[in-house]
Amino acid sequence: MGRTRQVAVGKVVFGSGKLVLLAGPCAIENEAQFRSCAQAVKTAGAHILRAGFFKLRTNPQSFQGLGSDAFRLAEQVSAETELPLVSEVIDPRHVEKMAQITNLFQVGTRNMYNYPLLRELGLSGKPVLLKRAFAATLDEWLLAAEYIQSAGNPNVILCERGIRTFENSTRNTLDLNSVAWLKANTDYPIVVDPSHGTGRAQLVAPMALAAAACGADGLMIEVHTSPTQSLSDGEQALLPAEFTSLTQQLERLLASQERSLWKI
Amino acid sequence: MGRTRQVAVGKVVFGSGKLVLLAGPCAIENEAQFRSCAQAVKTAGAHILRAGFFKLRTNPQSFQGLGSDAFRLAEQVSAETELPLVSEVIDPRHVEKMAQITNLFQVGTRNMYNYPLLRELGLSGKPVLLKRAFAATLDEWLLAAEYIQSAGNPNVILCERGIRTFENSTRNTLDLNSVAWLKANTDYPIVVDPSHGTGRAQLVAPMALAAAACGADGLMIEVHTSPTQSLSDGEQALLPAEFTSLTQQLERLLASQERSLWKI
Amino acid sequence: MGRTRQVAVGKVVFGSGKLVLLAGPCAIENEAQFRSCAQAVKTAGAHILRAGFFKLRTNPQSFQGLGSDAFRLAEQVSAETELPLVSEVIDPRHVEKMAQITNLFQVGTRNMYNYPLLRELGLSGKPVLLKRAFAATLDEWLLAAEYIQSAGNPNVILCERGIRTFENSTRNTLDLNSVAWLKANTDYPIVVDPSHGTGRAQLVAPMALAAAACGADGLMIEVHTSPTQSLSDGEQALLPAEFTSLTQQLERLLASQERSLWKI
Amino acid sequence: MGRTRQVAVGKVVFGSGKLVLLAGPCAIENEAQFRSCAQAVKTAGAHILRAGFFKLRTNPQSFQGLGSDAFRLAEQVSAETELPLVSEVIDPRHVEKMAQITNLFQVGTRNMYNYPLLRELGLSGKPVLLKRAFAATLDEWLLAAEYIQSAGNPNVILCERGIRTFENSTRNTLDLNSVAWLKANTDYPIVVDPSHGTGRAQLVAPMALAAAACGADGLMIEVHTSPTQSLSDGEQALLPAEFTSLTQQLERLLASQERSLWKI
């Protein structure tokens, strides 16, 4: 295709050639945790803050997020850090209200085929980060994006987060072939999530570097100030210091390709 | 586990030991098509009629069903044939209205992880046919059922409809291991859909017999009076005469196991 | 295709319409174990005896079989029970010598792509039971059979033994779609191995019945007089009494389809 | 684990921190083709030359390689270019003779479970490049390496070449998670084959860069002077000029990580 379409999220632009970092905890757990994580990722150089209100958990007894109770807190922390928010939306009935809080809607892996939700997001016009379903072909993923676009919203960013295979040493199999294929054959900006794509903190930095090397436009990284106390996904979260170290490695690698991290 | 829980849909009971047949076209296309298919499957011995209002199609340009425009027609045909209706529900905002028309809610493969929808169905109390997501483990499938149950609705029937593998000779890989496993380890009634599970009309009868042989409580079969003119899934639909022949083969096979087709 | 080609193994014929039972322990462990298992499966109605000399074990430290040390014993037990032997061959250098002992060469799942071995078996002319590699497409499987045939040996029987998927509740996913597809589109006799196809003794009988129902020409079943003391695969072996019960259920199911178990 | 074991192939050392390039055509087709490809990859900076004598082709009618007829030619070209040879071995009966010609035995994806072959290679003592079977777990792959080691040969290099999934846009799904995992948890040198891992020339360079970025010790790349006339795998082969450009990009990326391409 050649050129990547540009999608603006606040002052941050995806698809400019510069790499955008989306970071933060898996979910908002409480005020202290969220504020400290937000400040830490801001300091480390993140451009967009993960603000998880609603979690889709396989087990109905697992922590499901604070829901709308955390909207106010997220707004405050976003203002304090000057970081736009990316938030997962799980229900078409939430779109209108969440659109007032979040800057970038995230569609999670379990909802890529939820076409009524995608249509609602298409009508909202807000930027959408569309994660690949963990067993979706590239064709199906692009057709899901088409559901959003054909409802009038071209602001779609794709996010590779790993597919399900027979391999169990890692939580998912991060499919970077898909990144290279999409860069060559479509004009969508592509984000990679090595946290879910590996499920192991130890593997996040090497796979983040690999994603940048094959052309990703952004990286979504789970960062937590106390991963072992996290209510979800702690085993794949980086500490702030690890995230800082990763951003420095990324800066060097990108420079070797005449690219850089996003800067306004 | 031993005994299977019984779930009643109109006068039809799943889990009684007798095999229930759910049949009909993939979607309601128009009055003539739906009425002729309904009468044909009634004559051939079906117990529940497929009434597809809303189709989740991968491509946004594909036929998506007639939606609520077909509610009235479905009610009439259900009354004429005395067959209860099974209908796919795709949006939590539809549950209340559809509950007046349909006797059995179907959750399709793309919505097994749609927990807000499952919760809404749990609150409705109506029987739910929960299809397995095409890349769901048995654990995840059972936890999805738990979302419905923990909202207060124990009337859950599971439906195996094939999983996604590397094999491309068939549309999906029908996993009958799952049926045997679930019969041995849970008390849910289990339905098998060999139409989607194979994607080829030629393979529907042998796999329906196999499903019955390993203990399925019901079979969901696509039947169309003019498969080649069907707006969706024509290549996997049986003709009424083929369906009649299959019911006879099933009757003989079940008798060899001291079972039978459902009769009131 | 219509008619199935007939392949004779001693006095037993595959593809006649009658169902052939291959049974016995996973491997020959010692004289007492092998003789007692052989007599038990003979009594229960098996037609061909599993005689495992060489085991391909993933771990080099696992029990690998007694090798050629067990040839003499196998010959004696075969003569005593009047059961032909099926034995896995793992090395092209073994073909000539094993051809004097075994009546049916088995190619295991790990060797379906071992074309030098397949060529050697093609030259030998002896019947070959070709198991599907656990990630082989039907096309690849048929092309592997073609390696044997094009070397001059048409006596090929295919054996479905389960494929590898994301599902971990069972050891493999038994793909009975493949049986229905191969019966409809090729003339090979098809055997199904529900022991490896499920990996759990509890699921062997229902899946054996399902395999018979969709047209299998034979079943390969692990039977052991003391499964818990077996050196390999004990968790999937049936006790002789369970195998006897299964043969009775099979006899009834086959009768409902105007078929029967093999009888000379 | 920390340090990577070093494995020497001629004067080339794997596991030194420097990246080794193995390149050349899929198979030796004729003298002119092989010599021109060899000289081209030498000029472009390759360190080891692919010399394919025996090809395992799924279809028995496909080109199977020139076999031992090409041994003499390969020796001459190796001497002319001063490049050591890597050659696939497919039969335990070939090991002794091939050991005189080749510097590095390659075990292809179809033979990872061929334990008699692995044992023979263990006894030979020569370095072995062990490709991952396309449906092997990391555990199974490491146990296959153990078959070689436990026969007395520690000179094992692992090669990730893509796994089989449901995705069909690419020939295989290159699993770079495996590279990061193996670097963190074992001491084997790891080579990546982006040619087979993607199956498309367009994707080879980005995935080669990604592999280098996450720590690969070597890259195996198909290069052909006339890909469209290649007897096998032409659609994934790079032209010499594309390979040269890739080596330059790799040099820059490695420098950003304080690494470099192999130099004696």
**Per-residue confidence band for C220, with pLDDT thresholds at 50, 70 and 90:** very high
**Per-residue confidence band for A264, with pLDDT thresholds at 50, 70 and 90:** confident
Task: Say if residue C258 is exposed, middle or buried (CB neighbours under 10 Å; 0-12, 13-18, 19+).
Answer: exposed
**Per-residue confidence band for A2, with pLDDT thresholds at 50, 70 and 90:** low
Q: Do D167 and A215 touch (CB under 8 A)?
A: no
Chains touching B, CB cut-off 8 Å, 3+ pairs: A, C, D
Q: Where are the beta strands (DSSP E) in chain D?
A: 7-9, 12-14, 20-24, 48-50, 85-88, 104-107, 128-131, 156-160, 190-192, 218-222
Listed range (A248-257, C128-137, C231-240) with the worst mean pLDDT? C231-240
Annotate A162-178 with b (16+ C-beta within 10 A) or e (fewer). bbbbbbebbbbbbbbbb
pLDDT at residue D167 greater than cutoff 80: yes
**Per-residue confidence band for A228, with pLDDT thresholds at 50, 70 and 90:** confident
Q: Taking CA atoms, what residue in C is nearest to A166?
A: C166
DSSP of chain B: --SPPPEEETTEEETSSSBEEEEE-SS---HHHHHHHHHHHHHHT-SEEE-------SSTTS----GGGGHHHHHHHHHHHT--EEEE---GGGHHHHTTT-SEEEE-GGGTT-HHHHHHHHHH-S-EEEEPPTT--HHHHHHHHHHHHHTT---EEEEE--B--S--SSSSB--HHHHHHHHHH----EEE-HHHHH--HHHHHHHHHHHHHTT-SEEEEEB-SSGGG-SS-GGGPBPHHHHHHHHHHHHHHHHHTT--B---
Q: Taking CA atoms, what residue in B is nearest to A109?
A: B113
Whole-number pLDDT of residue A138: 98
**Per-residue confidence band for C264, with pLDDT thresholds at 50, 70 and 90:** confident
pLDDT at residue A1 greater than cutoff 80: no
Whole-number pLDDT of residue D201: 96
- Structural element, H or E, at residue C131: strand C128-131
Residues facing residue B9 across a β-bridge = B12
**Side chain identity at residue D86, one-letter code:** V
Pairing of β A20-24 and β C128-131: unpaired
Residue given tokens 């079906």 in the structure block: B46
In whole angstroms, what is the distance from residue C256 CA to residue B45 CA?
Answer: 20
pLDDT at residue C1 greater than cutoff 70: no
Beta-carbon contacts of residue A255 (< 8 Å; ≥ 6 apart): D256
Residues of A with CB under 8 A from a CB of D: 135, 137-139, 163, 165-170, 173-181, 183-184, 197-198, 200, 202-203, 206-207, 209-215, 249, 252-253, 255-257
Pairing of β C20-24 and β C12-14: unpaired
Rg (chain A; Cα; Å):
17
**Contact list, A134 vs chain B (CB under 8 Å):** 135
For chain C, what percent of residues have pLDDT higher than 70? 99
Averaged pLDDT of chain D: 96
Chains touching D, CB cut-off 8 Å, 3+ pairs: A, B, C
Average pLDDT, stretch B202-229? 96
Average pLDDT, stretch B48-66? 91
Averaged pLDDT of chain C: 96
Q: Do D177 and A207 touch (CB under 8 A)?
A: yes
In whole angstroms, what is the distance from residue A119 CA to residue A100 CA?
Answer: 18
Q: Which two tokens stand for residue B39?
A: 């009468």
pLDDT at residue A24 greater than cutoff 80: yes
pLDDT, tens digit, 9 for 90 and up, residues D27-59:
999 999 999 999 999 999 999 999 999 988 889
Whole-number pLDDT of residue D108: 97
The whole model's pTM is what?
0.96
Q: Taking CA atoms, what residue in D is nearest to C141?
A: D58
Whole-number pLDDT of residue B232: 80
In whole angstroms, what is the distance from residue D169 CA to residue D163 CA?
Answer: 13
**Per-residue confidence band for C48, with pLDDT thresholds at 50, 70 and 90:** very high
Pairs across C and D, CB distance < 8 A: 60
Whole-number pLDDT of residue A49: 98
pLDDT at residue D109 greater than cutoff 80: yes
Whole-number pLDDT of residue D230: 81
DSSP letter assigned to residue D6: P
pLDDT at residue D147 greater than cutoff 90: yes
Mutation choice for C interface testing from D107, D115, D166 by most C CBs within 10 A = D115
Whole-number pLDDT of residue D2: 60
Residues facing residue A105 across a β-bridge = A87, A128
**Per-residue confidence band for D227, with pLDDT thresholds at 50, 70 and 90:** confident
pLDDT, tens digit, 9 for 90 and up, residues C89-129:
999 999 999 999 999 999 999 999 999 999 999 999 999 99
Q: What is the rounded (10 degree) CA torsion for A122, A125, A131, A132?
A: 30
Whole-number pLDDT of residue D27: 92
In whole angstroms, what is the distance from residue D92 CA to residue D86 CA?
Answer: 17
pLDDT, tens digit, 9 for 90 and up, residues A132-176:
999 999 999 999 999 999 999 999 999 999 999 999 999 999 999
Q: How far lies B56's CA from each of A124, B48, B230, C92, in Å?
A: 21, 21, 16, 52
Annotate D69-83 with b (16+ C-beta within 10 A) or e (fewer). ebbebbeebbeebeb
Whole-number pLDDT of residue C2: 60
How many other CB atoms are found less than 10 A from the CB of residue D248? 12
Mutation choice for C interface testing from B134, B177, B202, B248 by most C CBs within 10 A = B177
pLDDT at residue B1 greater than cutoff 70: no
Closest Cα partner for B208 from B168, B264, B254, B142? B254
The answer to whether residues A160 and A132 touch, using CB atoms and an 8 Å cutoff, is: yes
Annotate B94-117 with b (16+ C-beta within 10 A) or e (fewer). bbeebbebbbbbbbbbbbbbbbbb
**Per-residue confidence band for A229, with pLDDT thresholds at 50, 70 and 90:** confident
Closest Cα partner for B134 from D29, D245, A163? A163
Q: Do A58 and B134 touch (CB under 8 A)?
A: no
Residues of A with CB under 8 A from a CB of B: 56-60, 90-93, 110-111, 113-116, 134-135, 139-140, 143, 146-147, 150, 164
Average pLDDT, stretch B222-246? 91
Average pLDDT, stretch A73-101? 97
pLDDT at residue B41 greater than cutoff 90: yes
- Structural element, H or E, at residue A24: strand A20-24
Q: Do A165 and D165 touch (CB under 8 A)?
A: yes
**Side chain identity at residue C248, one-letter code:** Q
In whole angstroms, what is the distance from residue D84 CA to residue D264 CA?
Answer: 13
Nearest to B143 among A60, A111, A114 (CB): A60
Closest Cα partner for C95 from C84, C105, C81? C105
pLDDT, tens digit, 9 for 90 and up, residues B90-145:
999 999 999 999 999 999 999 999 999 999 999 999 999 999 999 999 999 999 99
Q: Taking CA atoms, what residue in B is nearest to C255?
A: B256
SS3 A3: coil
Averaged pLDDT of chain A: 95
Averaged pLDDT of chain B: 95
For chain D, what percent of residues have pLDDT higher than 90? 91
pLDDT at residue D1 greater than cutoff 60: no
pLDDT at residue A217 greater than cutoff 80: yes
The answer to whether residues A104 and A9 touch, using CB atoms and an 8 Å cutoff, is: yes
In whole angstroms, what is the distance from residue D200 CA to residue D46 CA?
Answer: 20
**Per-residue confidence band for B2, with pLDDT thresholds at 50, 70 and 90:** low
DSSP letter assigned to residue C239: P
Whole-number pLDDT of residue C22: 98
Pairs across B and D, CB distance < 8 A: 6
For chain B, what percent of residues have pLDDT higher than 70? 99
Q: Do B168 and D168 touch (CB under 8 A)?
A: yes
Q: Residues in chain D, how many?
A: 264
The answer to whether residues C33 and C40 touch, using CB atoms and an 8 Å cutoff, is: no
DSSP letter assigned to residue D173: B
How many other CB atoms are found less than 10 A from the CB of residue B230? 21
Q: Which two tokens stand for residue C4?
A: 């199935």
Instruction: Give D11 to chain B, closest Cα distance, Å.
Output: 41
Whole-number pLDDT of residue D191: 98
pLDDT, tens digit, 9 for 90 and up, residues A166-188:
999 999 999 999 999 999 999 99
In whole angstroms, what is the distance from residue D204 CA to residue D190 CA?
Answer: 17
